[in-house]
Amino acid sequence: MTDHIEPFRMTEQEKNSQLWLRLKEHLERLNDRDRIRNDDTSLSEEQTRVLRCTIRARKDLINSDF
């Protein structure tokens, strides 16, 4: 049995709420910081993988408003 989960969609009102806009800006800043950290050659392969997965998860959340 496969459960089908509908994609998360925000309403127009939710997309334009001050809370969402502030949260989205914060997540984007965190991703900017982590992209710089990702360029650090001293990170292990595992640390790099975790960092990239974290960035991807944030991007998925940021893009859920579309």
Mean pLDDT of the chain: 91
For residue 7, is it within any domain? no
Residue 15 and residue 62 in contact, taking contact as beta carbons nearer than 8 Å: no
Residue 14: burial class (beta carbons within 10 Å; 0-12, 13-18, 19+): exposed
Residue 9 and residue 59 in contact, taking contact as beta carbons nearer than 8 Å: no
For residue 45, is it within any domain? yes
Q: How far apart are the first and last CA of the chain?
A: 29
For residue 20, is it within any domain? yes
The two structure tokens encoding residue 33: 């910081």
pLDDT tens, residue by residue, 7-66: 788 889 999 999 999 999 999 999 999 999 999 889 999 999 999 999 999 999 998 866
| Residue 64: CB atoms within 10 Å | 14
For residue 41, is it within any domain? yes
In the chain, % of residues over pLDDT 70 = 94
Range of the domain at 59: 12-65
For residue 56, is it within any domain? yes
Number of domains into which the chain is organized: 1
